[in-house]
Structure 1
Amino acid sequence: MPRWNPHAEDRLREAALELFLEHGYENVTVAEITERAGLTRRSFSRYFTDKRDVLFAESEQLPAALARSVRHAGDSLSSFEALLAALVDVADMLADQAPAPLAAQRRAVVRASPELQERGRTKFAAVTDAVADALRDRSAAESEATLLAQVGVAIFRTAFERWTDRPDDVGLPARIWEAAAELATSLGAVDFTTPPPPVTRSPRMDERYLRTPRH
């Protein structure tokens, strides 16, 4: 076997995904991944730090990539417009790196593992912080930057799920624009000049609430 295999990383990733889907992430070892790929542990260590890295290595670039795109968006754009432009820009990059079928497999593995779900939440928290910092650099107010960053992550996650569920319909950038447009339409239907009416609770609901211990 040659000392360097140009397709080793792809083989390891494919082997890992196959095993994760067959047996569950928690039940697969690095040794089993390398054996399925026909490679060595040394080859695995050249590309990944551990088996979790097989799923998240590329996504570690997401916070920095989104923040960079937000900062480089046109000066004439509003904070929200800059955020949308950045989401679409990075979506093109992600779609090239991980085609929809591969992304769908990764998503299925993550959804079946509490450990990986927690890792995913940590990842998106890092994305939110990085985007908020970039929006502040564009002179967005502190609270506005935080709110818009959270909204942007929600748009991205919704679009990503739709893209992996129906990859043959449209691409990831179009899904992002679609999710953002739906949000804008929903907000446009709200009259923000008039406060909403108070919520009417039934007496029984109020009684249960009062009896519930609060800490």
Structure 2
Amino acid sequence: MGRWQPGARERLQQAALELFGEQGFDATSVAGIAERAGVTERTFFRHYADKREVLFVGEEELRESFVRAVASGPAGAPALELVGAALDAAGTVLEATRDRRHARARQRIVDAHPALQERELLKLTTLVGALAAALTARGVPALRARLAAELTVSVFVTAFGLWIADGEDRGLVQLQREALQEVRAVVSGSS
């Protein structure tokens, strides 16, 4: 086994996605993932706590990109402007670090497994809390901060779903901006 070859983490991610797609999540073992990636099980556990975590790599970095954008926004910026900046920042990070094909494959696996769907919802709930705290720290009243955080995640989830749809060629940042514009139209009462 190529235990010390570079790129073990990436090979493990690819192997896991392939095996989850071929065999299903439940039928795939850590041993099988490690073997496909050409590493030992021990190497797998150096990178991931369990096979589920392979699907949620980058969660903290994505959350931090949202929060940093809110924290670094201009002084006195309204909540909706901070939301837009956070979406742009996170969308840029995601587009730069995730291949659309990888994202599609990952989402199919999550959608097919209730426990993974639950984990995904927990991830999104944690993101809402972090965004609400960041907005509150910027002086946005608590209720408005919570609503803005929920809105941000809703726009992100909607745009992400469009981004990974078969045949879609627009970028995630563009789709998020379009979705946020639709929210503005709903709030203003535009048709």
Q: Shared topology, TM-score over 0.5?
A: yes
Going from structure 1 to structure 2, the CA distance change for 1:169 and 1:2 (only over 3 Å counts) comes to closer
For structure 1, which runs of at least 5 residues remain unmatched after alignment?
Answer: 191-215
Going from structure 1 to structure 2, the CA distance change for 1:139 and 1:76 (only over 3 Å counts) comes to closer
TM-superposed CA distance for 1:64, in Å, is 2.6
Percent of aligned pairs sharing the same letter: 37
Do residues 99 (structure 1) and 99 (structure 2) align? yes
Amino acid at match of 1:7: G
TM-superposed CA distance for 1:46, in Å, is 2.2
Going from structure 1 to structure 2, the CA distance change for 1:5 and 1:168 (only over 3 Å counts) comes to farther
Do residues 112 (structure 1) and 112 (structure 2) align? yes
Aligned position for 2:16: 16
Correspondence 1:182-197 to 2 at 5 A: 182-189=182-189
TM-superposed CA distance for 1:61, in Å, is 2.5
Aligned position for 1:64: 64
TM-superposed CA distance for 1:68, in Å, is 1.6
Correspondence 1:109-188 to 2 at 5 A: 109-166=109-166, 168-188=168-188
Going from structure 1 to structure 2, the CA distance change for 1:135 and 1:92 (only over 3 Å counts) comes to same
| Alpha-carbon separation, structure 2, partners of 1:111 and 1:15 | 19
Aligned position for 1:54: 54
Going from structure 1 to structure 2, the CA distance change for 1:158 and 1:23 (only over 3 Å counts) comes to same
Structure number, greater radius of gyration: 1
| Alpha-carbon separation, structure 2, partners of 1:6 and 1:75 | 43
Residues 42-93 of structure 1 deviation map (CA, whole Å, 9 limit, x = unaligned) = 2212221110110102113332321121111122421111111111111111
TM-superposed CA distance for 1:7, in Å, is 1.9
Residues 83-105 of structure 1 deviation map (CA, whole Å, 9 limit, x = unaligned) = 11111111111111111111111
Query: What SS does the corresponding residue of 2:164 show, helix, strand or coil?
Result: helix
| Alpha-carbon separation, structure 1, partners of 2:166 and 2:186 | 23
| Alpha-carbon separation, structure 1, partners of 2:142 and 2:87 | 20
Residues 145-195 of structure 1 deviation map (CA, whole Å, 9 limit, x = unaligned) = 0111001100000011100114652111111101111121222226xxxxx
| Alpha-carbon separation, structure 2, partners of 1:33 and 1:70 | 38
**How many residues get paired?**
191
**If the length of structure 1 is used for normalisation, what is the TM-score?**
0.84
**If the length of structure 2 is used for normalisation, what is the TM-score?**
0.93
For structure 2, which runs of at least 5 residues remain unmatched after alignment?
Answer: none
| Alpha-carbon separation, structure 1, partners of 2:4 and 2:46 | 10
Q: Is the 8 A contact 1:100 1:167 kept in 2?
A: no
| Alpha-carbon separation, structure 2, partners of 1:147 and 1:168 | 29
RMSD: 1.7
| Alpha-carbon separation, structure 1, partners of 2:59 and 2:30 | 20
Residues 80-139 of structure 1 deviation map (CA, whole Å, 9 limit, x = unaligned) = 111111111111111111111111111110000000000001000000000000000111
